[in-house]
Amino acid sequence: MTPTKDIEDIKDIKKMVDIFYGKVRRDNLIGPIFNDKIQNHWPEHLAKLYSFWQGILLGEKTYSGFPFPPHAQLPISKEHFDRWLALFTETVDSLFIGPIADEAKNRAYKIADIFQDKLAYIRNKANK
């Protein structure tokens, strides 16, 4: 079914995050990494993600924190980011259409680029 609406409110954010992370948790490549790290704390993690995306996409500043540090020690590389982005894009495209949906995908790519750059910096510094 072709989506007919854009991301409009927190209900849409929750739908996007829940469906996306359902896919992540079942994915053979990135699922084990997320599930090992988060374990039985998925409800708390999802609540943070709702706030994070609510702030980015709707301008409602409910998120506080720093998203990068929890990812710094994960055994992740470009292939993991590529899978995360593919699943994210697939999820958004299956649910929504419009400028806010496009912004969600653009921000996901920017976040992935920033995280990969930071990880490369940390790993290069550690190898010197």
**What's the pLDDT tens digit per position in 16-32?**
999 999 999 999 999 99
Q: Is residue 2 part of a domain?
A: no
Q: Is residue 78 part of a domain?
A: yes
Q: Is residue 5 part of a domain?
A: no
Q: Is residue 100 part of a domain?
A: yes
Quick count: other Cβ atoms within 10 Å of Cβ 81?
A: 19
Reduced to 3 DSSP states, what percent helix, strand and coil does the chain have, rounded to the nearest 5?
Answer: 70, 0, 30
CATH number at residue 22: 1.10.490.10
What is the domain range of residue 42?
10-127
Q: Is residue 37 part of a domain?
A: yes
**What's the pLDDT tens digit per position in 114-125?**
999 999 888 887
Per the structure, the count of domains in the chain is 1
Please give the C-alpha separations between residue 109 and each of 40, 52, 81, 124, in angstroms, as whole numbers: 27, 15, 9, 22
